[in-house]
Amino acid sequence: MSFATNVKNEITKHDGTKTENIALLSGFMRNNGGFNQKEIHLLTENASIAKKIYRLIKEIYQISPTIEIQKNMNLSKNSIYHLFIHDKVEEILEDLSITEKGKYLEIPREYLFSSEEEIRCYLMGAFLSKGSINDPKTARYHLEFLIEEKKEAEFIKKLLNIFHLNSKILNRDKGYMVYMKEAEKIGDFLRIAYANNAILYYEDIRIYRDHKNMTNRLNNCEQANIDKIVETATNQIKEIEYLQQNDVFDLLDDKTKEAAEYRLKYPEASLLELSEIISYETNNSITKSGLNHRFRKIKELVRKMKENS
């Protein structure tokens, strides 16, 4: 079972008040199936969603939708649950702010969203109908609603961003995608939708991935430092050998010559390690900065020699 299916199954277990359930039904029905003056047709591949919608319609409007189960022949092989409503069609459509006096409303009326809870439930209904979320184990974080109508897509985006979820809209061939890609914002949506078990799973995976990414960055940084140390030491050895080949090495002052000899003796040591080795073996303390100063003198001498050659 996919993570998105688990999230939707958990959402269906939330029990709201009558007005909250009406908001959820509105969010689901406005983005699902079709309707006319005589019939409302809803469909889903999720049995838990079909049961949830059936129960809410029966409780709120005291009618029982007709259910038909169709075997799905595509790769998912999930059954498709069709719900047909033939009674109180006009009353239901107007109550859910889908139509008004028989005319379709591009966005629902404000009375449907008099509280934050009702906004949350509308988003939950829309997600049950047209929502999807990637498993956090996959390579990218992604949550989306695939919405047919532009005004509805903009409305869902507006509701999401009431909760500062930073959702965006992308035009698609068959409608509009309202989406989020920020891991923390997706986690916040799961909290809004009361998917508490999904939150625990999602956050555990997200923390693990963040820790793994941080470890990789630290390892990369450490490797970069090692590469830098090796490159610096290699360049210093080349400069020292250049002085030796040109018979000017013995012209260096004693302290600089000492630094050069230790560099040749310990070619893989960092400047800090080399300064500690020299301090220990000669009993004359030298800092990393002091040692670097001696190598700069060698570098400058080599530069002048090459310019004059």
DSSP H/E element including 140:
none
Q: Which of 275, 276, 254, 264 is nearest to 233 (CA)?
A: 264
Q: How far apart are CA 16 and CA 210, in angstroms?
A: 35
Categorize the per-residue pLDDT at 113 as very low, low, confident or very high, splitting at 50, 70 and 90. confident
Given this model, what pLDDT does residue 74 score? Answer: 65
Whole-angstrom CA distances from 1 to 4, 6, 28, 31, 77 are 8, 7, 22, 24, 13
Residues 163 and 188 sit within 8 Å (Cβ to Cβ): yes
DSSP H/E element including 181:
none
The answer, as to whether pTM is greater than 0.75, is no
Q: How far apart are CA 88 and CA 72, in angstroms?
A: 30
Pick from 103-112, 144-153, 212-221: least confident: 212-221
> What does the pLDDT average to over 13-35?
92
Helix axes 3-11, 196-245, angle to 10 degrees: 150
CATH superfamily, with its number, for domain 3-194: Homing endonucleases (3.10.28.10)
Categorize the per-residue pLDDT at 306 as very low, low, confident or very high, splitting at 50, 70 and 90. confident
Given this model, what pLDDT does residue 262 score? Answer: 86
| Residue keyed to tokens 């600089």 | 256
Whole-angstrom CA distances from 147 to 44, 70, 94, 281 are 15, 24, 21, 74
> What does the pLDDT average to over 131-135?
93
Q: How far apart are CA 58 and CA 69, in angstroms?
A: 19
Q: How far apart are CA 293 and CA 248, in angstroms?
A: 19
Residues 267 and 256 sit within 8 Å (Cβ to Cβ): no
Residue type, 24: L
pLDDT digits (tens, 9 = 90+) for 150-191: 999 999 999 999 999 999 999 988 899 999 999 889 999 999
Quick one: tokens of 49? 């969603």
Q: Where in the chain is the domain with CATH 3.10.28.10?
A: 3-194
pLDDT digits (tens, 9 = 90+) for 240-278: 998 889 888 888 888 888 888 888 888 888 888 888 888
